[in-house]
Structure 1
Amino acid sequence: MTMLATLAAIAALQSGWTWTLYEDGPVVLANEIPDTPQLRAILECQPGTGVARLDLFGATGAGIATIVSGTATATGQSEATADHQSVALRTDHPVFGQFLITGVLDVAVAGDHQAVAVPAGHLAKLRRFAELCSG
């Protein structure tokens, strides 16, 4: 691990942000500070449906979303609320497959980008999420 990666990992731990997988009821993978209402992103699905909803907090763009991970691209309809935007993703789509490998997903709506980054140490949770959602 490089010095820069080590410093980034330490900073992430100190800030309290983590990825947490909740498997009871709907399956939820949340980028949060546990035991607080602070959220950056939530992936949620009903087990076995093959469709995940991604909620991005702090972003409020509605319209056609371009979703990119690795070399794969998808489009979808983004819906907005007062504090977040949501977009649905099929778990069998190549963009979701690339997300499982890279841990990085970019969502762009009307030129505004918001990235989701799952560090290597949490990729197993992302893969478990996909497994449960896909059935």
Structure 2
Amino acid sequence: MCKPLHDVIQAGRSSPDEKERQRWAKLEAAFSFFIEGGYVTDDLVKQLLPPKYEHWELRSRKPRPSLRVFGRFALPDVFVGTHVERRDQLGGMWSSQFEHNKLVCEEHWEDAGLPSPFTDPPEFRYERYITSNAKRKIQVAP
């Protein structure tokens, strides 16, 4: 993770407010679920549109307001979170706040000296980014 994300997680861990500490613990649990190979769909890790800019978000939906970690994939299965925002601060999809945070993601990525993000044009297949135990949508076998 990039330094801005690391710093805010550390601050959340040490908050005097129990509810706030629980919020950050749930976010860390979402990270752990991804890292340890839990079944991933875009309910947890979502590719933002348009895909050619390689913006992703890791979603920690409970408690509300939920947290969204912006980031990119450095390599398949290597998600690098850049920063986090509360969902209620982002406005609707395509809002100026949401679009601004995509640019913030790019800035933190560059500031960290990370290489160009991994990309899979022109299809941008979900399973090329998260290569095992993942599908964009949950599917029931016929």
Q: Report the TM-score, using the length of structure 1 for normalisation.
A: 0.30
Structure number having the greater strand percentage? 1
Which structure has the higher relative contact order (CA within 8 Å, separation 6+)? 2
Structure number having the greater helix percentage? 2
Q: Report the TM-score, using the length of structure 2 for normalisation.
A: 0.29
